[in-house]
Every structure is written in C-alpha cells, then in structure tokens.
Amino acid sequence: MDTLSRIDGLNKRFGIAGVAQVAAGNGGLPMVRVNTKAATAEVSLHGAQVTRWTPAGSEEVLFLSERSYWDAGRAIRGGIPVCFPWFGDKADDANAPKHGLVRTKEWRLDSINALDDGSVTLVCITESDAATRPWWPHEFCVAYRITVGARLRLELTVINSGKAPMRFEEALHSYLRVGRVQDVTVRGLDGIAYLDKTDNFREKMQSGEIGFTRQTDRIYLNARDAVDVVDTQLGRIVRTEKVNSENTVVWNPGIEQTAKIADLADDDWQRMVCVEGSNVQTAAIELNPGAEHTLRVTLSAVSA
C-alpha cells in the first residue's frame, strides 16, 4: 500500500468530519490536523510529534524551524519531540541516536476522540522492535495521549513489557515560540540547583529569574513546580505544569551553537526557548516487568 492510500485509510478510520483529519504533511509524512473552537494543532505521526498548537485567541505557541528535515529516520526540529529511552547522548554509546529511539519512528495512531469541552484527544503508540533492540535490549510499549484544547495536555505512558527491570530517561522537549529571546524571562526555578551542561555539568544554584544572552543548557534538579516563560514582546506567558517529573530542562542554543545546527537558521535562537518536563540523570525511571509510568506535561498560554 502506498503512503497516500495508507493515509487515506487512516483518515477514513479515525477522522472526525470538521474536527480532525489525517492528511499528508510536510515531506508526505502522515499527520493529524485538529481544528476546533478551542484550538488548532498538528501532530505528525513521525515521532508522534506535536508540531503546532494555537489556542483560540492566541498566536502559535510552538516554534518550528523552517529548515527542519521532514524525512523518515530524521528528527523534526521544533514542536515537541519525545525523548526516550535516553536524553541527549547515550551514556555508553556515542554512536547511538541522540535523544533516544522514538522521535524518528512512525507511531501507530490508536484513536481520535472529540470531547464535550471542545478539545480533541488522540493516542499514538510505539513499541520495541527489531530496529530498537540493537540499541536498547529492553521490551517496551509507549502510549502517548495528546489532548488539544485551550490547554495542551501531554501524557506519556511507558510500560515495561519485558521480563527484566529497565531504567530509562524521558523528556517532552517543548520548543516554545517567543518574540525575541533577549526579552524573555523564565520564572519558577529560583533557588533550585541545576546541572550546567555548558560547564561540564557543574552543579550550580539558580538565583532569580532566567534570562538569555548566550547558550543556556541546564537540567534543574528536584524541580516539580510550574514554570512560566514570560514574553514581553508577544505579551504572553506560557506556563508548563508537570506531574511525575523530577527535572525541568531549559535550553537555548545561543548564536554560536545555532550556527552548528544545520536545520536551524542563524537567528532562530532568538525565536525559541525550550522548557522540558523530564526525568533524566539521577531521576531516571526504574520499572519492573509489567509496571508502567506516566509523565504528564500541560501547556497553557495567557496574556502577560
């Protein structure tokens, strides 16, 4: 079956007239387009990646690079990539795919449902297979529930479907669109220790709000509370709320690092900030056979 026929079959099975449809997105990759009174959004089945979300009365919340690749086996730059079962580089294999195995896989669409409050929930699933086992020997199933509405709720459930315990890292790598990063502050992390990846992972203490003048790459430890991205140029606050997340990652590549990233324009660093609900490093999750763990991240946007 060719790609277009397969996409048409998915739309006939799961599409909801006037609310949600499965269509060919950039590069012909299958995507789900949601359009309701509460919000519009796009979710690529490649990586189960939310690439756009615009709540009613607001501007686009997510950053998506115009230079992003849209090819099977390559990551989409922007939106909300799913990082699993490791974050960043794999500790024991420098040749392993960065940020894990699932952001470059096509996930299986399991359901789309319209809810009474005007929001839409879709569920995507991926599992261990012959492509994942050479990199990571564990058996797993990951179910991702995405609820598109006035708020964007993301629930990533990992199930250990094997016979041995497994330890994994996870992150929902949210790229938030901003007017000008120099006019942005991040609040909610004052007084929290963090690992500074730009300084050999030295542990430091956050004092006050976070501002951006150069590359910023930090893993905040024991950071469970809501975090606000305050954008004076766009006149809005984007809030990240989390459940079952011990870390908050804050990243902006800055001008020098951006120049090394082929799928970012030279000035894209000024238009995005990543705030990521995660469990990484010493907060990695241990799951016994048959057990499951759910990470929940909810995004909302309000006028500043």
Catalytic residue among 46, 99, 138, 173: 173
Would residue 127 show up in a list of annotated catalytic residues for this protein? no
Torsion sign (Cα): 269, 188, 218, 143: negative
Would residue 203 show up in a list of annotated catalytic residues for this protein? no
Of 150, 146, 161, the residue nearest 47 (C-alpha): 146
Query: Is 235 exposed, middle or buried, given 0-12, 13-18 or 19+ CB atoms closer than 10 A?
Result: exposed
Of 246, 141, 125, 254, the residue nearest 193 (C-alpha): 246
Catalytic residue among 276, 286, 292, 293: 276
The amino acid present at 172, given as its one-letter code, is: L
Of 86, 150, 166, 190, the residue nearest 300 (C-alpha): 150
21 bridge partner residues: 33
Helix or strand run (H / E) with residue 9: helix 3-14
Q: Which residues are catalytic?
A: 173, 276
